[in-house]
Amino acid sequence: MKEFVKRLAAEQKEAIREDRHYLHQHPELSFEEYETSKWIKERLTALGIPMAEGITGTSVVGILEGSEPGPTIAFRADFDALPVDEDNDLPFKSLKPGVMHACGHDTHCATLMSFAAILARHPELIKGKVKFIFQAAEEKLPGGAVQLVKDGVMQDVDYAFGYHSASGLEVGKVLVNEGAVSAAVATYELKITGKGGHGSTPSSALNPMPIACMVGTALNQIKPEKVSPIHGTTVTVSYIHGGQYPNIIPGDCILGGNIRTLDNDDLKLILDNIEKISKGICEAWGASCDFSCVVGYPATINAPEQTALARSVVEELGYEAKTSDPNLGAEDFAYFSLEKPSCYFNVGGADPENPSTYSPHHNKNFMLDEDMLDVALECELGIYLRATDQK
């Protein structure tokens, strides 16, 4: 398989870079990717790849069906950019001030387009059905994946794959972890209302500030007391806002923070406890408490079989398959992994001889070594061939 995959991927060596350069020069923010969506549709049309109907927003789903039976496999790439002003000296630097592909989504989209082009030109390789999911708006809640699931994209899918570029990992190394690979995330906010008054007569007021301090201290006990110690979880009190002058007791204050967990069931447990504990403390002191929360993406969970398949392909292609502790970043590929067995992996994009390629994601100097495009394309093609029992 190795020689076959590398030969087909090599045919796209120039095209995949040209596509990445175009996308990098023309970034668009989440839910505003109108020109990118148009570009994707035009490219798929030129390749003779039909597109799914009934897709909401700017996401695009291409579909190829083979003449032989087989599974339906989805490959996903996101393509939104970030509100970052690029500070790189590149011939394909962003042409839009204040907007940049600072997370590598341009590489994801370019890779999937080249993968689609290979299968379109080699229909004999297609068994069953392939879905090329070009997903909008990964960077901004509620994200584009959840709407694609609502649109029914995953209903006939047997399993799904996707990847993310990684500036902290060297080219030629691929991170493939089983189980949780990104965290479920939510934010919460509490408005604690007491009674304002003069600093000289606190007994005639009801100061919400010390109550907020008690609430914050109590919330820090949720993790050790309510959540299994083996679950990767954070419960953070990030801000308390209230009051302005030393001799004025404010009538209310705001407290809020962030939750991240690698166990999807823990998210509701934690939010329920935040509301219950906060309201209980406030009621005990005669104050009121309004609770609100925004639930972000679930945790992304890699299925054992698909993870083992991806790992074996990476190694057979001659690359280094690595594992690591999961991180508490959020990724809306999670919605696909909730629906069907999936694997989401990371492809190294750092050149050891070029320190600039180690710039962190979401940074104005974010940069990747483009050799990672070839690695990513080979991995997607190899995974597909192995998943359909070919080569």
DSSP 111-129: HHHHHHHHHHH-GGG-EEE
Looking at the fold, whether 133 and 173 belong to one and the same domain comes out as yes
Q: Is 3 a catalytic residue?
A: no
- What's the CA gap between 250 and 111, in Å, rounded? 55
Percent of the chain whose pLDDT exceeds 70: 100
- What's the CA gap between 237 and 244, in Å, rounded? 20
Least trusted range by pLDDT, from 27-41, 203-217, 286-300, 346-360: 346-360
DSSP letters along 179-245, please?
EEEE-EEEEEEEEEE-B-EETT-GGGSB-HHHHHHHHHHHHTTHHHHHS-TTS-EEEEEEEEE---S
Looking at the fold, whether 240 and 99 belong to one and the same domain comes out as no
Looking at the fold, whether 84 and 178 belong to one and the same domain comes out as yes
Identify whether the C-beta of residue 208 lies closer than 8 Å to the C-beta of residue 196: no
| Final residue of a structural domain among 295, 323, 351 | 295
Identify whether the C-beta of residue 81 lies closer than 8 Å to the C-beta of residue 105: yes
| pLDDT exceeds cutoff 80 at 195 | yes
List Cα–Cα distances, 59 to 66, 137, 275, 354, 382, in angstroms.
Answer: 23, 8, 36, 34, 25
Looking at the fold, whether 16 and 128 belong to one and the same domain comes out as yes
**pLDDT, tens only, 153-175:** 999 999 999 999 999 999 999 99
Looking at the fold, whether 98 and 170 belong to one and the same domain comes out as yes
Looking at the fold, whether 31 and 138 belong to one and the same domain comes out as yes
Looking at the fold, whether 112 and 30 belong to one and the same domain comes out as yes
Looking at the fold, whether 157 and 216 belong to one and the same domain comes out as no
**pLDDT, tens only, 352-365:** 888 888 889 999 99
Number of domains in the chain: 2
Residue 217 sits in a domain of what CATH number?
A: 3.30.70.360
**pLDDT, tens only, 37-75:** 999 999 999 999 999 999 999 999 999 999 999 999 999
Looking at the fold, whether 170 and 43 belong to one and the same domain comes out as yes
Predicted local distance difference test score (pLDDT) of residue 180? 95
159, 163, 297, 319: which one is catalytic?
297
Identify whether the C-beta of residue 109 lies closer than 8 Å to the C-beta of residue 35: no
List Cα–Cα distances, 32 to 23, 36, 55, 100, 335, in angstroms.
Answer: 14, 9, 15, 13, 21
| Final residue of a structural domain among 245, 272, 295 | 295
Looking at the fold, whether 177 and 190 belong to one and the same domain comes out as no
Predicted local distance difference test score (pLDDT) of residue 276? 98
| pLDDT exceeds cutoff 70 at 108 | yes
28, 370, 378, 380: which one is catalytic?
370
Predicted local distance difference test score (pLDDT) of residue 98? 98
Give the range of the structural domain holding residue 320, as residue numbers without chain letter: 2-182+299-387
Looking at the fold, whether 218 and 358 belong to one and the same domain comes out as no
DSSP letters along 116-169, please?
HHHHHH-GGG-EEEEEEEEE--SSSTT-SHHHHHHTTTTTT-SEEEEEEEEEEE
Identity at 72, one-letter amino acid code? T
Q: How confident is the model at residue 391 (pLDDT cuts 50, 70, 90)?
A: low
Identify whether the C-beta of residue 316 lies closer than 8 Å to the C-beta of residue 308: no
Predicted local distance difference test score (pLDDT) of residue 357? 81
Q: Is 378 a catalytic residue?
A: no
Predicted local distance difference test score (pLDDT) of residue 116? 98
Q: What does the block give as tokens for 28?
A: 């668009």
| pLDDT exceeds cutoff 70 at 314 | yes
Predicted local distance difference test score (pLDDT) of residue 326? 84
**pLDDT, tens only, 317-347:** 999 999 998 889 999 999 999 999 999 999 9
Sign (positive or negative) of CA dihedral 53, 55, 57, 63: negative
Looking at the fold, whether 235 and 304 belong to one and the same domain comes out as no
Of 245, 241, 265, 263, residue with least CA distance to 253: 241
| Final residue of a structural domain among 239, 272, 295 | 295
Residue 326 sits in a domain of what CATH number?
A: 3.40.630.10
Predicted local distance difference test score (pLDDT) of residue 354? 87
| pLDDT exceeds cutoff 70 at 3 | yes
